[in-house]
Amino acid sequence: MSTLTIYHNPRCSKSRQTLQLLTDANADVEIVEYLKTPPTAEKITNILALLNIAPRALMRTKEAEYKEQNLSNEELTDTQLIAAMIATPKLIERPIVVTKNQACIGRPPENALALL
> Which residues carry out catalysis?
12
DSSP 49: H
Collect all residues with Cβ–Cβ distance below 8 Å to 93 and sequence separation of at least 6.
Answer: 58, 59, 60, 105, 107
| Residue 99 CA neighbour count, 13 Å, CB half | 14
